[in-house]
Chain A
Amino acid sequence: MTVKADGGVASPNDRTASPAAIPLLIEGLGVRYPGRREHSLEGIDLPIVRGERVGVAGRTGAGKSTLTLAAAGFIPRVVRAKLDGRVVIEGIDTATAAPGALLGQVGIVFATPANQLSASKQTVREELAFGLENLGVARDEMDARIDATLARLAIGHLADREPFALSGGEQQRVAIASIVAMGTSVLVLDEPTAQLDPAGTASVADLLDELARTGTTILCAEHDPTVLGRMDRCLVLEAGHAVALDVPGVALASAATAGGTPLPTMVRLAEAAGIDLAAAFDEAAVAAGLQARRQGPGILAERIVASSPTPDQALSTWAPTDGRPAVRIDIDGLVHRYPSGIEALRGVSLTIEPGESVAILGQNGSGKTTLVKHLNGLLRPAEGRILLDGQATDDRSIAHLAATVGFVFQNPDEQLFERTVEREVAFGPRNLGVAAAAIAQRVTHSLTAVGLLAEHSTNPYDLDLSRRKLVALAGVLAMDPAVFVLDEPTTGQDADGVARVGAVVEAMQRAGRTIVAITHDMEFAASRFGRIVVMREGVVVADGPPEQVFAPASVELLASTGLTPPPAARIAARMDLDVVPLDAAGLLRALSVRG
């Protein structure tokens, strides 16, 4: 398939551009891993000019990671795979490059922040020196190069910190800095923000802008539309093939039409406004376009139909095997102190009605996880108490509470251990003493709900991280508790995965379960939960339905916690609407009624 590259801010229409202008050239790239019949990538052409940022989008398993590995010269040197076509970095063909030749030319950063560091250095400064040591840079030059990098990336304040004590966003920036310090001109990233909170994501995205401005060439695989939207161009992959290569708005829109993936909210709104999709991620332009449409020809009707959410019923077949009464949660004056004496929770009182669904928002360190860990006894209150249906939890063990409160942890790798997905999901109900026949039925139901029934006898660790998270979710679904606690269920998920998790949440609600979820995903929180609780420094600062919490009046309060309303609400605020829409469909409905 040939993909036309046009409309880009700095796209290389001139195919005869000199190698100096194209630091990263991918031509006819195909990759096939040993032992697999199908190519993981086929026929990818992608020349990137200096200082350009190219995003790579696509479903989980579409070949994004393989493309980043190939672009960084890791295939076939480090990862054994058959490579067709060629990848040329700064004039060096990666397939024939001498060992070490690519060093200082290209670098790569992956998703898990803690794994990106050398894990052997005491300070950020030494961490940055690690690459220079390997390059054999003279000792006298090192400090100057490190200081220059710290200044260029504006992370000088981290110089003497311990790498392991940094937040995820800081660790990712240090990892990028340590590659940039080596004089690298091409930076490849594989979902660098997948495990970060909104503040961390924004800081990494800002850093990429700054790097590109000062001449670094960037190739970045991502799911997050806010990161993809800031790229110059976007390549969309589908089953190893390029289906679109254009400015982000256009590329994501055409990919969605072709592949049926959910459209990012901003692109959907831009389409409805009928504006140039190149400006899809410019909020002011989209708001102005919608305003003009509303006062003029009206919102494009077919866009409203096209953009109404895919019916979740098709996804969410989950239903509990037996009915049980919904449980009410009373949190009363809860205080938690760390051994150091610092108060993580400073008097939290909440009542969660039976069958209510609550999303808890807040920055890292605001006490969200500490709060929910009290619900199933992982933490015990220093002061105050937790009541489940009026009964105190103090004297009940975690394992005992597990029958009532199901807890889905953020990191699935801290619990998966069985040989197959099926056995893994059966672990929880087996601990609860559920009969064998019932377990089999529950396992089937839960795996169907998360869309992994076909993988029932796969080794969980042969699935990627986003699907391992779904296995952990299925494991708790199979326990069928009255209360579900979800910690960051959508991180690392592609749009399909987020929709899948959302459908499961709605299925839980239909079954009358009480749901408490921690999330950084504002759109997910706004569109799937009936109540939003915002925390800051161990106290609840906002509590109410999403329309109230995300209303323009609360924007300042939200900003003080490092949060912003979801895109649709932001656009509505720019248009001075007096409703607070929670997703694109909501906004368009509001406009069409008026228009």
Chain B
Amino acid sequence: MNLDWLQVCAEGQTTPCVAPIQLAYLVALLIGAVLLVVIARRARDLTTATLSLMAVAIAINIAVGSIAVFLRLPIYLDSIGTVLVGALAGPWAGALTGILSNLIWSILPIPGGAGPTAAFFAPVAGVIGLMAGFWANRGVFQVRTDDVRVGGFLALATGILGAAVAFLVVQATVGIPDLAATEPDVLLANQTQFVLMALGFVVVGVIVGWLAGRTVFAFQGDDPRIRPYLQVATAIAAFVLVFGIVRLLFAPSGYFSTVDGVLDDGTPDDFLGGASLTGLAVQDPAGLIGAFVVALLVGAGALAWARRGDNARLFPVWVGGLTTGLVAAMISAPIAAGVFGGVTGGGTDALVALFRTLGLSVFQSAFAQGLTSDPLDKTISYTIVFLILGALPITVRTMYSRGETTVAE
């Protein structure tokens, strides 16, 4: 199999390879063009209520997103409006909201805007809107804890978990091929191997998810297992998420190990009052055990919380957010790497710098940063949208035909 077309140039390498920048444009242009054509056709069907919601949603995206940039948070929070429109008015309106948000943000004199940064990520925002609409149609914002559709979400989550476990197993046994190899031939071989492995992980995930959906999670009618399963799944999800975040922050080379009270350019970082947090990085194995215990406690807490009332229905919301984040990371990484060398002027730059010091390439750092920020960001955004939809007055919600089908009472 010839995978030359996929080979991304190493730093300094000239031929034969696809420069990340060209790849980024190819991907962005392709997605952008397809989206624009479809959206232009769909835009005629948008109602006045949808259009005025979109205007507000765009303003929300930009306003909240610029606060996140200003505070140098390691997440974006710039797609709350996009997800909201996707949920209330459908995928196409959501996609258009995302694209327009990023284009308009670029021309506004506020943090994160005033430059082409946001505009380059417009295709990503479009895809986020599409996915939000897709998930809303599948009922992520609506399913109750005794809904048979819960099975699908559980199967999907199991699939994702399966792929992740496969990755960890391979990493621990065979090892992940070195993508920072300097020898062109070795690099090519490693890259090919990596792509094949990645495909393998996806296949494993799909099979695990499919099997789970057909067997354990094949619910019918008002199956009494649905509620407890969902509650346990919520607890496991919380465990995995917290474990990941704690490791991300407190691992020996985690986020806090880089916060030393000084900005990249040498000036004091007054956001945290010049505090050095490097001492918060906990060495292994104490750190590993600590993270495990903390995550376990939080998981137990999540279980107790999920058993109260209908709280467990946030689980599908998180599945939606997580998958949207994964897709967003995959599309945005080449753009970030190609256009800005991964640096976009926001709080996520600290993550990029961190991954670079760990020895990852420009592209890999951008991708790793995306994989860290995006799923978390989208999960938070989906949760916020879920809460907003719940708080939305009935008079506003009923203006949208999907308001009743995609939103829980």
Contacts and interface: CB of A to CB of B under 8 A. Distances in A.
Contact between chain A and chain B defined by CB under 8 Å: yes
A459 B398 contact: no
Contacts of A79: 398-399
Interface in A116-156: 119
Given A80-B398, A119-B55, A462 B390 contact: no
Interface in A445-479: 459, 461-462
B398 A34 contact: yes
A419 B398 contact: no
Contact of B392 (A78, A119, A461): A461
A239 to B, nearest CB: 19
Interface residues of B, number: 10
Contact of A462 (B49, B55, B393): B393
B393 A459 contact: yes
A462 B394 contact: yes
- Which secondary structure dominates where chain A touches chain B? loop
Given A34-B398, A80-B398, A461 B55 contact: no
A459 B391 contact: yes
A119 B54 CA distance: 13
Contacts, number: 18
Contacts of B399: 79
Nearest to B387: A419
Interface in B380-395: 390-394
Given A34-B398, A80-B398, A119-B55, A419 B390 contact: yes
Contacts of A34: 398
A63 to B, nearest CB: 14
Interface string B48-61: 11000001000000
Contacts of B392: 461
B344 to A, nearest CB: 30
A582 B287 CA distance: 74
A80 B47 CA distance: 14
A591 B49 CA distance: 56
Nearest to A80: B398
Contacts of B391: 419, 459, 461
A461 B393 contact: yes
A236 B391 CA distance: 33
A179 to B, nearest CB: 16
A461 B49 CA distance: 19
A135 to B, nearest CB: 15
A180 B193 CA distance: 71
Contacts of A80: 398
Contacts of A419: 390-391
A270 B371 CA distance: 75
Interface in A40-92: 78-80
A34 B409 CA distance: 14
A244 to B, nearest CB: 28
A119 B55 CA distance: 10
Contacts of A461: 391-393
B392 to A, nearest CB: 7
A119 B390 CA distance: 27
A67 to B, nearest CB: 16
Contacts of B398: 33-34, 79-80
A35 B407 CA distance: 15
Contacts of A78: 48-49
Interface string B32-53: 0000000000000000110000
Interface in A16-44: 33-35
Contacts of B393: 459, 461-462
A419 B392 CA distance: 10
Interface of A: 33-35, 78-80, 119, 419, 459, 461-462
Interface of B: 48-49, 55, 390-394, 398-399
18 contacts: A33-B398, A34-B398, A35-B394, A78-B48, A78-B49, A79-B398, A79-B399, A80-B398, A119-B55, A419-B390, A419-B391, A459-B391, A459-B393, A461-B391, A461-B392, A461-B393, A462-B393, A462-B394
Closest 10 A/B residue pairs (Cβ) = A461-B393, A462-B393, A459-B391, A80-B398, A462-B394, A419-B391, A461-B391, A34-B398, A459-B393, A461-B392
Given A79-B398, A459-B391, A459-B393, 15 more contacts: A33-B398, A34-B398, A35-B394, A78-B48, A78-B49, A79-B399, A80-B398, A119-B55, A419-B390, A419-B391, A461-B391, A461-B392, A461-B393, A462-B393, A462-B394
